[in-house]
Amino acid sequence: MLDLPERRPKESAGNYARRVLEYNIVHLKLMPGEQLQEKALAEQIGVSRTPVREAILELKRGHILNIYPQRGTFVSYIEEKRGEDVRYLRYVFESQLVEEAAVAADPSLAASLHDIIRAQRLCMANDPDRFLRMDDEFHRAIYASLGREDLYALIKEHAIHFDRVRWLSYKLNTAERLIEEHEAIARAIASGDVPTARATYEKHLMHAIADHEALRKLYPRFYAPEAREPVR
């Protein structure tokens, strides 16, 4: 059964169907390689088949679903290159942005980051969904403090492949380490220590890369070589 996020006021059936599918793919309720049935999805989501079909086509364009003629629709496997592309974009932008944030040393940003980290600590043991939302919020706050929220939103539009890996990484018990790294980044920004801000951010990213490599070995069935066939 699918998990059903609450439908937003005035949200179209198509947008809601897409959001439900994305949520369940990221949270591995719909597993890599799993075949999807349009009728069953429509019944579970509570919409007609037309918006489900539209959502499937949109997710296919984002390489989140694969449609094979005369076979059906399948959840894509985790493609390392797509996750690497998002990490590269974040490195290019965020390593510069944390430096700019440290130069600014804005007290309101420091307070916001402190509050976010505190919220992460409160939920890290029993609410992984909220924990990862707070992880997003930590990074978004840095972009927003420099007037770059639109840039963060643009990156997030392409982050679903990366987000599946983040969800898996929670199983590696990395939450405490991630919080400690956030604390180090926040301290460097608050104190105006530009070199340390960049160095701690780069360390944070390198740990994410190492986690991805560990997950590839632990969950090989979620990853696939380029020519892998869908599950039958």
Q: Name the band, by pLDDT with cuts 50, 70 and 90, for residue 11.
A: very high
Q: How confident is the model at residue 226 (pLDDT cuts 50, 70, 90)?
A: low
Q: Is 134:126 a contact under the CB 8 Å cutoff? A: no
- Region(s) of the chain under CATH 1.20.120.530: 80-220
Beta bridge partners of 223: 78
Rounded average pLDDT over 53-77 = 93
Q: Nearest-CA neighbor of 163 among 22, 29, 56, 55?
A: 22
Q: Does domain 80-220 have CATH number 1.20.120.530?
A: yes
d(CA 70, CA 90): 38
How confident is the model over 87-120, as pLDDT tens digits?
888 888 999 999 999 999 999 999 999 999 999 9
The type of residue at 197 is A
pLDDT in tens, 148-178: 999 998 888 877 888 888 888 887 778 899 9
C-alpha distance across the termini of the chain, in Å: 20
CATH 1.10.10.10 domain residues, the chain: 13-75
CB–CB of 230/74 below 8 Å?
yes
Q: What does pTM read for this prediction?
A: 0.84
Q: Where on the phi/psi map is residue 173: left (φ > 0), alpha (ψ -120 to 50), or beta?
A: left
Instruction: State which fold the 13-75 domain adopts.
Output: Arc Repressor Mutant, subunit A (1.10.10)
* pLDDT for res 194: 96
Residue 223, SS3? strand
